[in-house]
Every structure is written in structure tokens, then in C-alpha cells.
Amino acid sequence: MKVGFIGLGLMGRPMALHLALAGHELHLWARRPASLEPFAAVNAHLHVSAAEVARQASIVFTMVADAPDVAQVTLGAGGIVEGAAAHRRPIVVDMSTIPPTAARDIGMRLAAHGIAFLDAPVSGGESGAINATLTIMVGGTAEVFEEVRPLFEKMGKKTTLVGEQGAGQVAKACNQILTGVGVAAVAEALNFASKSGVDPAKVREAMLGGSAYSSILEHHGQRMLDRNFKPGFKAWMHQKDLRIVMDEAHRLGLMLPSAAATAQLFNAMIGTGMGEEDSIAVLKLLERMSGRRRTESNP
């Protein structure tokens, strides 16, 4: 198939490479030329705009930072709408994480141009993108989903059609509540163990065998113990995702106390210059605050 991909950053680059390695002909555009360098050895064609990508490929994936970026590359000047008319049934698949309301709006605006739309955010971080083990949550029609499913299967291990347009983003928001709160809870527990004078590695080992078990405790907990804060999912990204969650909560009149508290932790990470570190570095934030309180109470 001729497939377009726009957004070749930390996540998009390995995802697009999986499509090329599966034998599909890639058509690419990126704001930064350096993002295109890994594609020199695969079947990929480089273009000067998103519109040119859409002229060549009837299915175009986008994986960009936020809703304004999705709107720009799809509907803006030089965007996908300007080239998609070359195809009988063009499809745009946005795999970014954006508000559900924005996904529905972009889907309706694309439909006015005869373009089908799926919102398909992912979970799994950079390692999931590299290993093609992403979880993909999709909103849209079953017909369009089935057409794109073979491509999803090259990028992830589990793909679910959640519901209509916007439903994929709702599922991703739920995912970010659970992962954000989970990361903060594991960091709190390990910091509590350490400040109590008990080996946090032994505490984690004990918890893995009980009802406190979670994949976050298993995988991210070990990374915290190893002090491995290499970015796989940066703190500013989780801050952005929880901002989406809280904006939707305000719109719906919902109380999300755990998500709200966790959002403040990620805000503090950004405010203290830790935005480019992995979100699990929230442990370092808690350690700093614990040390400060101890010093102030025991000068």
C-alpha cells in the first residue's frame, strides 16, 4: 500500500519504519529534515508538504504534539485536504493524543471534504513504538477501521475499536489517568520506604506478590530503583495529557481528585526544570520535597 506518515518524532519514527519494513511504500513530510534521515534505507519518498503526501497516499497517519498541530497538518495551508482529492476514498488516521472534542471537530471538518477519519491514540511509550507492541485505541466507523486494521497490526499488539469518533481519545484519557496516578503512587511508595529506612527494592519485591501488583510497579518501579530516568515518555507529555483530562472533566462537570493531584505533580516537574525527563522522575521531585521538609523541621 501507499501510506503517508506525518510526525516523525520519538514515537512516529519507529511506527512509520514498521510500515516500511512490512513492505508498504511510505510517503513522508517532516518539519525537521533530521527526522527523515532514518528512512534513507527503506522504501520511502520525501515530500515538501503534507498536501503532497496526501496526493500520493490514500491513507495518511499523523503523530504530532497537540490538537493545533493536527488541525494545521490536516486542514491548514499546505495540509492534507489540499492533496486528498486525488483519491476516491482518502483516510486520515490521527495517532496523536488530543482532546476528544478536538478529534470530533477535526473529523467533521474532514468529512466535509470527503475524507474519512479515525482517532487512534496509542499507549506503550517509545519502547512500545520501537517493538511494535503499542496498544491502539480507535474511534471511528467499523468500515474504515477494518480498512486500516492491517496497518495498525504492524505497529501494535492490541488494537480496539472503542466507539465513534472521539472515543479513542476518551480511552486514551482514561489510560493517562491510570498511568499518571499509578506512576505517582509507585514513586510515593518507594520514597516512603526509603525515608523509613527500609530497602525500597525489598518492599517492591514484597508488593509484586500481593494485591498491589501492577505493571507500573513491575516495570517502572524497577526503573525508579535503577535511577533510569532516560525519557521514554517525557514529563511534559504527561502534563499535557492530564491537562486534556482536566479540561474534559471541567467541561463534563466531573470531579477527578486523584488525576487533579497527579496533574499538579507533573506541573511541579515542569516548573522545576524536569520536563524533558521521563515522567517516572516524579520520584526525584518527591525525594527533593521530602528532604526539604526534613531539613526545615530539623535545622
| Per-residue pLDDT tens over the stretch 150-187 | 999 999 999 999 999 999 999 999 999 999 999 999 99
| Predicted local confidence at residue 38, as pLDDT | 87
Residue-level length of the chain: 299
The reported pLDDT for the residue numbered 273 is: 96
Could you check whether 2-163 and 170-291 share the same CATH topology? Answer: no
pLDDT score at 232: 83
d(CA 207, CA 204) in angstroms, rounded, equals 5
Q: What pLDDT, on a 0 to 100 scale, did the predictor assign at position 19? A: 97
- Predicted TM-score (pTM) of the model is 0.92
CA distance 112 to 90: 12
Q: Which residues of the chain have pLDDT under 70?
A: 292-299
pLDDT of residue 10: 87
> What fold characterizes domain 2-163?
Rossmann fold (3.40.50)
C-alpha R_g of the chain: 21
Q: Checking DSSP bridges between strand 25-29 and strand 44-46, what pairing results, if any?
A: parallel
Q: Which CATH number fits domain 170-291: 3.40.50.800, 3.10.20.600, 1.10.1040.10, 1.20.1050.10?
A: 1.10.1040.10
Active site amino acids? 172
Query: How much is the pLDDT for 121?
Result: 98
Give the domain ranges of the chain.
2-163, 170-291
* pLDDT (0 to 100) of residue 292: 52
